[in-house]
Amino acid sequence: MGAIGNLIPLVMLFAFVGGLAYFGYQLYDFANELSERGKKKMEKKNISFTKDGMKVGVKEKRQEDYEDKTQSVLVKAWNFASFPGYKSKVWNTEATPGFRRTSSGTGTPSGSRPPTSRT
């Protein structure tokens, strides 16, 4: 019985070390899986990791798309702008209704007085 009694602590030690090794391997495996998942997610955003460092790709924007966006912004700005006293020589020759010119050349809507007058 003495020899078997001396082996029980040795078997328990091997079981404990084996459990720690298994836990360490699972932790290592999870960390590698997590890093691979992160790399794939970053590659979708045109960022790749290499031995030399990180490389960032730039998405190409076509010239036509750029011009379309620029034109739409300008058209929106033009449509939302108002020029109450503007008289074009080419189109819309009548000024905005209810608009009158003052002696200083600037216009004010009819029915309102200039801010400097005290009448």
Taking the CB of residue 95, how many other CB atoms lie within 10 A of it?
16
Long-range contacts of 101-107 (CB under 8 A, 24+ apart): none
Question: In this structure, are strands 99-101 and 54-56 parallel, antiparallel, or unpaired?
Answer: unpaired
| pTM reported for the whole predicted model | 0.41
Q: How far apart are CA 82 and CA 71, in angstroms?
A: 19
Q: Which pLDDT tens digit goes with each residue over 7-21?
A: 999 999 999 999 999
Q: Which pLDDT tens digit goes with each residue over 33-66?
A: 999 999 899 888 888 878 888 888 777 778 888 8
